[in-house]
Structure 1
C-alpha cells in the first residue's frame, strides 16, 4: 500500500446550527484514486472543500485534521493561513469542477488561463510558460492545440472546456487532483473520453485523484477505493470491487440498484397498429453563424423523418451537438424549420399559424408539453410553485376562476407525487428531483397529447433519476401519454422507449424498434454509444 498523500481525520463542518459533515475520515493513496459517492446533499463536495481549505462559507466552522503530505514536509490544511493555502491551491492541489463554463474566465484566452497558475506558483519566463501551456493542451488531447492557445472558452464544446480545466489543474504538477463531478454535464461518449484522459494523465504525472460523483457506475470506472457518504457521514469505505460485489450497507445497495444498465426491461408494449399521433417528414433546420472567416451556416437537422404512435415513447438519442434539442425546438415552434412537415393528430403544426392565426396556433401548441433539462432554470425563482404550475392553466383558460385553478394545481402536484402544500414553496426550497416533478406538473397542466422530455433526467442523481423515470412510466400508463424522450444515455433510453432514433450531426443513423436496436445495433456510432455506458461491474483489468 502506497503512503497517503492526503489524510483526513474526524472532519466536522457546521454552518450556523446545521451540522453538514459529521466525523469524516479518509485517506488518499499516492498515485491512486479515491471515489467519494453519494446523493446530492450527502456532503461530498463540502467534505473535500473543507479538507482542502477551500470552503469559504459565511459562518462555517471546520474542525478536525487534514494533512497534505509533501516530499519534504507535511501541511495541516485545517486552520492554515491564507498565505499557506494560496501556495497549496493550484500549486500542490489542482481542482476540476462540474461546470467548466462557469469555472473558466470568459474574458481570457486559454493560454492566459493556463499560464496564470504557472506564473503564480512557478515564475517561469513568458516563453517557457507558453511552451508549458502548449504541452498541456497537447497532453489533454485538444485538437489543433497551437491555434487553441488564442481561443476563448465560448469557442469550445463542453468536453473541450473540461479538457482545458484539467490542463489548468495539472499545470504545476500537483500532488493531488480534485475532480468534483467533472463529467456530470457531459454526454456518455465525452464522459468516457474524460475518464480515459484522467487515467492516462494520472499514469504520466503520478498524481493522486479524488473523484466525486453521485454515480457508482462512473466511480467503478475510475476509483481504486470508495467512500460512500450519506447525510454528511461515512456509511461505507472499501476497495471498489468489494463495494460492487459485497456492499455492506442498504444505502450502497440502493445506489447500485439505481444505475441505468443496458439490458434492463423496457416499457409495456404498444400495439403496432396504434394510431400515429406525431409524424415528421423531411425536417430540415439551418442556423446562420459568424466565424473568424465570415458568415457560415450550420446544418443542424438534415431531412429527418419519424413518427410516434399514440401512447408510445420514441427515444431520440445522440451526443451533444447532434441536433436533438433543435428537433424539440422545431416541434414546439421555438425555431422555424427551413423545410419539412410536422403533423400532430392530423393537424399541420408548421402551417397552422399561417392559416388559422395566433389563436389556432396557441390551441395547437397547447397539445404539446415541454420539460427541459435544468428544472431550476425552467422555473421562475420569484414565483411560488403553485403560481408556476397554474400559469399555463390561466394563459390557456383551462379552468374558470381562481378556486378551480387552485384545485387543479393541487391535483397536478399530487399526480406527480408531491403534497399539495408544496404550492406555497419557492423553487430554491426544493431538491432537484422535486423541482423536476414541478416542471412535469406544469407541462401536464396543459393536458397535452404529446410530452417532449428534453434531457429531463440528465442533471439528476441516479437515484432521483430512477424515481423520475418511474413517475413518467406510471403517468404514461395512467393518462395514456405519448412521449418524445430526448437523451444521450442509451441505458436510460432502453428503459423508457418503444422505438429509438439515433441522431448524429443532424442525420438519422438508426431508427428501429427499441428491442431490435439493442439486440443487434447496426451502426458503429450506435455501438460506440453503447460501449460508453459504464458496465454493471468494473472490469478487473481496469483496476
Structure 2
C-alpha cells in the first residue's frame, strides 16, 4: 500500500470533563476508502471533524496528531491556524455531508457554488471556472448540466443536490474526500448511484476517501478497511472482508445482524377472507407549481387503487418523488385530491366534513420520518402523547390522563419517567417511540408510517421494526408502511404496492412479489439494496 494521505494517531476529544473521542488512530492511502461505522453518538463525525480541523464545539480540547501528506513532513491539522485550514479545506480536502439541503447555499446558483472554490484555491478565471463547473456537473451525471448551472438548490431533488455536493467536493481534485453519511437520506436507487459515482471519481482522480455511515451494508459496498466505533472508541479495525466474515467484537456482530437484507422471511399473506379496512379507488392528485419558465402542473398520483385488510400491512414503496407521501397526505386530509374515493370501514375518508371529520382523524394516525421535527420541542413528552387524549376526550380527569400516558409509554418500551422529558433529551430511537405512542393514543384503526425508520441507525431501526411487529400482533393494528427500502418492506408487509411517477407499477402479495418480481422497475429497486456480502473482499 502507498504512503497514507491522512494519518491520524491517538486522537482524543474532550468537552469539559467528558472524553468524547478516545485515542483513535487510522491511516487512509491514495485510492483507498476507509469506512468509519457506528451508531449515532459513537463519535464518527466528531472524530473526522477533529482530524480535519473542522471541530468548533465550545470548550472542546483536541489532542493527538492528524497529518495530511505533503512535502516537508506533511501538514499538521490538529491545532492548525484558521489561515492554514482555509488553504486546505475545499482545495486539498473535499467534504460531502449528510444533508445537501443545508450544505448548499439557497441564495447562490449551482455555478457560483462550484466556481467559488476554483477561484479561491486554483485562482481560475471566471471563464475557466465555469468550464470546469460544467465538466463536473456532466461527470456527476446531472441531467441537462448547461441549464442547471443557473439553477438554485431548491429546484433539484435530494439525489441531484447530493450529486452537486460531490461536484463541489471534487472541484479542485482533492487528495482526500470526507463523505459523512452522504446517502442516509436518499432512496436506495439514488444511494447506489452516489456510491458508484464516488467510486468512479476515486478511480479517475486517485482520491483517498473516508466514508462515515451507521450502516455496515453501505460500508461493505464502498470500503477497503473498516473502523468500528462505539462510545468514542475503536472496537474493531480490519479489512472489510475480515469484518464481514470474522467479526471479532460483539458490537460489530450486532451491527451486521441489524442490517436489512432482501430474502429474510416476512409475514405470511393476510387471509383472503379478512375484512377490508381501507379501500382506495382512482386516487388522483395534482399540484400547481411555479417554475422559472412559468406555471405548470405536477401529476403526483395517477389513478391509484389499493386495499388494506384489517390487521395487515401494505408496503408502499418507490423512489423519492414517486408519490408515496402524497398518498399519505391525502388520506389524513393534508392534501385535497383531484379525483378518487377512499373509505375506512365504509366511512368516506376524502369527503368527510364537520364532527365526523374529527372522529375520522382519530381513526387514522400518522408517524413521520423525522421524529425530532414532528415533536414540539417546547412540550414535554407527556404533553405530546396526552394531546390526542384531550382533543378526543378519551380520558376523564388528570389522573386518568396520566395513567393512560404511562400505559402508552410502557407499550412502546419506555419508562414512565420519560413523560417529564423534552424531545432534545432523547435519542432518535426514543423520539420515534414517542411518536408511535402519540399515534396510538387515539386508538386508531389505521396507522400510516411515512418512512418512519429511514433516519434511524440500523440497530435502532431493527428495534423499532420489532416494536411495530409486536404492536400489530398484540393490538391488531393495521399499517400503511411507506418506505423506499424493499428489504425493510419485505420484513414488515403482507402486500406490496410499488409506485413510480405516481402510478402503481406492481401490486401483489409480498411473498409473490419478492419471489418473482414481474416489472423491471421492481427488480431495479431490489438490486439497489446493499447485498449481504461486501463488494470488496480483499
Q: Give the deviation of 1:440 after TM superposition.
A: 0.1
Question: Residue by residue, what CA displacement relative to the aligned partner does 1:371-395 show, whole Å, maximum 9, x if unpaired?
Answer: 0000000000000100000011101
Contact 2:224/2:536, CA 8 A, preserved across alignment: no
Question: Residue by residue, what CA displacement relative to the aligned partner does 1:226-251 show, whole Å, maximum 9, x if unpaired?
Answer: 00000000000001011001101100
SS of equivalent residue, structure 2 residue 395? coil
Distance 1:260 1:138 in 2: 33
Counterpart for residue 35 of structure 1 = 35
Distance 1:265 1:384 in 2: 39
Counterpart for residue 397 of structure 2 = 401
The size of the alignment, in residue pairs, is 538
1:430 aligns with 2:426: yes
C-alpha change, 1:378 and 1:100, in structure 2 (3 Å) is same
Distance 1:540 1:179 in 2: 18
Give 5+ residue unaligned stretches, structure 2: none
Task: List aligned pairs for 1:456-471, cutoff 5 A.
Answer: 456-471=452-467
Contact 1:52/1:77, CA 8 A, preserved across alignment: yes
Question: Residue by residue, what CA displacement relative to the aligned partner does 1:58-112 show, whole Å, maximum 9, x if unpaired?
Answer: 1000000001102564011111111111111111111000000000000000110
Query: Which of 364, 367, 374 is the equivalent residue of 1:368?
Result: 364
Contact 1:322/1:503, CA 8 A, preserved across alignment: yes
Task: List aligned pairs for 1:44-123, cutoff 5 A.
Answer: 44-70=44-70, 73-123=73-123
Question: Residue by residue, what CA displacement relative to the aligned partner does 1:166-208 show, whole Å, maximum 9, x if unpaired?
Answer: 1111111110000000000000000000000000000111100
Query: Which of 496, 513, 516 is the equivalent residue of 1:517?
Result: 513
Counterpart for residue 437 of structure 2 = 441
Counterpart for residue 493 of structure 1 = 489
Q: Give the deviation of 1:124 after TM superposition.
A: 1.1
Query: Which of 404, 407, 412 is the equivalent residue of 1:411?
Result: 407
C-alpha change, 1:207 and 1:72, in structure 2 (3 Å) is farther
Counterpart for residue 251 of structure 1 = 251
Counterpart for residue 207 of structure 1 = 207
SS of equivalent residue, structure 1 residue 48? helix
SS of equivalent residue, structure 1 residue 484? strand
Question: Residue by residue, what CA displacement relative to the aligned partner does 1:282-332 show, whole Å, maximum 9, x if unpaired?
Answer: 111111111222211111000000000000000000000000000000000
Give 5+ residue unaligned stretches, structure 1: none
Counterpart for residue 503 of structure 2 = 507
Distance 1:107 1:417 in 2: 44
Contact 2:223/2:536, CA 8 A, preserved across alignment: no
Give the superposed CA RMSD.
0.9
Query: Which of 466, 474, 479 is the equivalent residue of 1:483?
Result: 479
Task: List aligned pairs for 1:83-482, cutoff 5 A.
Answer: 83-353=83-353, 358-482=354-478
Distance 1:62 1:263 in 2: 45
SS of equivalent residue, structure 1 residue 366? helix
Distance 1:126 1:508 in 2: 47
Moved more, 471-480 or 1-10: 1-10
Distance 1:70 1:130 in 2: 29
Q: Give the deviation of 1:364 after TM superposition.
A: 1.2
Distance 2:190 2:436 in 1: 28
Contact 1:281/1:305, CA 8 A, preserved across alignment: yes
Q: Give the deviation of 1:268 after TM superposition.
A: 4.8
Distance 1:17 1:382 in 2: 28
SS of equivalent residue, structure 1 residue 382? coil
Distance 1:120 1:191 in 2: 31
Distance 1:129 1:314 in 2: 50
Contact 1:179/1:210, CA 8 A, preserved across alignment: yes
Runs ≥4 residues deviating over 6 A: none
1:5 aligns with 2:5: yes
Distance 1:17 1:261 in 2: 41
Distance 1:11 1:75 in 2: 16
Distance 1:412 1:65 in 2: 49
TM-score (norm 2): 0.99
Distance 1:297 1:124 in 2: 41
Q: Give the deviation of 1:351 after TM superposition.
A: 2.4
Distance 1:477 1:90 in 2: 52
Contact 2:270/2:494, CA 8 A, preserved across alignment: yes
Distance 2:374 2:277 in 1: 26
Distance 1:16 1:94 in 2: 30
Distance 1:198 1:33 in 2: 10
SS of equivalent residue, structure 1 residue 130? helix
Contact 1:109/1:152, CA 8 A, preserved across alignment: yes
Question: Residue by residue, what CA displacement relative to the aligned partner does 1:225-284 show, whole Å, maximum 9, x if unpaired?
Answer: 000000000000001011001101100000000001011111255322100000001111
Contact 2:6/2:66, CA 8 A, preserved across alignment: yes
Contact 1:267/1:473, CA 8 A, preserved across alignment: no
Q: Give the deviation of 1:135 after TM superposition.
A: 1.1
1:19 aligns with 2:19: yes
SS of equivalent residue, structure 2 residue 95? strand
Contact 2:187/2:484, CA 8 A, preserved across alignment: yes
Moved more, 62-71 or 315-324: 62-71
Contact 1:11/1:64, CA 8 A, preserved across alignment: yes
SS of equivalent residue, structure 1 residue 494? helix
Question: Residue by residue, what CA displacement relative to the aligned partner does 1:466-521 show, whole Å, maximum 9, x if unpaired?
Answer: 00000000000000000000000000000000000000000000000000000000
Distance 2:105 2:293 in 1: 24
